[in-house]
Copies of this chain bind each other. A is one copy, B any other.
């Protein structure tokens, strides 16, 4: 292309690296940044750097935090005997938004996936086993995604921690609220049927 501004091109490329962001969207985002004031642009850049320097993993649950312990692990009002095991910090955000769960978390930062060369040692499973071994945990809720890899990881972990006398549960599978049974896939319907509860 004859018309090419290097600095703009670089910025577009940065946005384009974000998953599911295409060329056109990246362009629109870059132009938005150009439209910002000098100060706002600096704020944006600082937010990126800050997120990197300030945020690290909670030493207990491995969720993202700015302090040594995440707010959930540090909270005295949460039930520290119930641990919800999740794949990613974004899953924690989703569950926290429901305001229904009062226990604590354990973030795996991935799932066991031999295809992608991710073994149990690349996740935070060892630390979860140590938490279970400490005897302070009564129930572990496996809330990995309902995929083959999520299921496998849940099974693997449950085998490791059951010997410590911990109750291990799994999130219910079924038809999403508001969805149409007509359009539900076979596997979901099958799971909804086998997991039916009494009215």
Contacts and interface: CB of A to CB of B under 8 A. Distances in A.
A6 to B, nearest CB: 6
A4 interface: yes
A181 interface: no
A52 interface: yes
Contact of A66 (B7, B13, B75, B93): B7
Nearest to A43: B14
A38 interface: yes
Contacts of A159: none
A71 to B, nearest CB: 6
A27 B44 CA distance: 15
Interface stretch (A28-36, A113-121, A122-130, A132-140): A28-36
A64 interface: yes
B55 A49 contact: no
Interface residues of A, number: 57
Contacts of A96: 1-3
Residue among A11, A17, A21, A54 with max Cβ neighbours from chain B (10 Å) = A11
A5 interface: yes
By secondary structure, the A interface counts as: helix
A7 B72 contact: no
A51 interface: yes
A19 interface: yes
B8 A64 contact: yes
B7 A34 contact: no
A65 B45 CA distance: 21
A59 interface: no
A52 B41 contact: yes
A18 B32 contact: yes
Interface string A84-113: 000011101100110000000000000000
Contact of A51 (B8, B63, B75, B97): B8
A33 B55 CA distance: 12
A64 B34 contact: yes
